[in-house]
Structure 1
């Protein structure tokens, strides 16, 4: 994904210091769903601390769904729904590939209602590009446009891209306990 990621930590003198500057973050793509990409930019553990030195990330060893108190920052590119309606789309191959590359995310989806899922998290979502429809578990549909912000509390939902263009959405997920 062509998004620059700059990590700034606190130096010994208390000032900010660049720890890393990456021109683009490698995301997870799915061959079975062209246009889909999910790039994890940063994550923290439930015991995250702010200290002098390099910030601690668990980004290389985690899945996309945070446990209680953990966080995930990612950007997801969602292709048009028409991609999956195309006769060439292989739903079984898509499911297998998603399960292989993103097993914890795949496990949140409902088998009988394509796209419908829920996570044990509070999610902040900002639509960066394109248009999406947020479908809630009760059937309500919310049309979203560029820069709209959604805050979700572990609710059942699906993201639908009814346009002809790929949409890009930024997520901050905070792992939470369901009561």
Structure 2
């Protein structure tokens, strides 16, 4: 599977459907070594408009008010990032976003960590992440690729800070 996805965008010309764009995504960042984030599309209204929005590519998403975010993420093994979760401490990448997220694991495996528990996710698994405190921990030797749709949400389920500081060791 390629690290940076190809994006095809359809449109209309003279009342007929066409392919307006067909190219590898160019809004890509690597905030930490091997953590590849490709922001595919964003909206800032509901109902959505069809115009492409410029997205600020950030390690933790900044979903537009009343909008959505479409994101492709390659998460390297924790060991490649130098991440060590200390016993009794929150995972160094624990964070919370004010979004409702639909996440599909495309390849590899990864642990979803929440405050009280964790679960191993594998290719084909789907997560509905509802504004909760969470982290991703890749304890394998291969990258994990996720596809995520994030929707702006009205409120969070708990009282954690909107976004906790990332603590990489």
Fold in common (TM above 0.5): yes
Point out the structure with the larger strand share. Answer: 2
Instruction: Determine whether 1:155 maps to 2:132.
Output: yes
- CA apart distance, 1:151: 0.7
Quickly say closer, same or farther: Cα 1:57–1:26, change in 2 above 3 A.
closer
For each residue in 1:35-75, what CA deviation from the matched residue of structure 2 results, as whole angstroms up to 9, or x when unmatched? Answer: 1111101011125545xxxx312134576321332111111
Structure 1 outlier segments of 4+, above 6 Å: none
Query: Which residue in 2 is equivalent to 1:27?
Result: 28
Structure 1 segment 1-179 matched on structure 2, within 5 A:
1-13=3-15, 15-30=16-31, 33-50=32-49, 55-60=50-55, 64-85=61-82, 113-138=91-116, 140-178=117-155
Quickly say closer, same or farther: Cα 1:25–1:147, change in 2 above 3 A.
farther
Point out the structure with the larger helix share. Answer: 1
Give the CA RMSD over aligned residues: 2.4
Provide the aligned length of Structure 1 versus Structure 2.
Answer: 148
For residues 102 and 48 of structure 2, the distance between their equivalents in structure 1, rounded to whole angstroms, comes to 21
Moved more, 21-30 or 114-123: 21-30
TM-score of the pair, normalised by structure 1: 0.73
Contact map agreement 1:130 1:145 (CA 8 A) in 2:
yes
TM-score of the pair, normalised by structure 2: 0.77
Structure 1: segments with no counterpart, 5+ residues: 88-110
Structure 2: segments with no counterpart, 5+ residues: 157-169
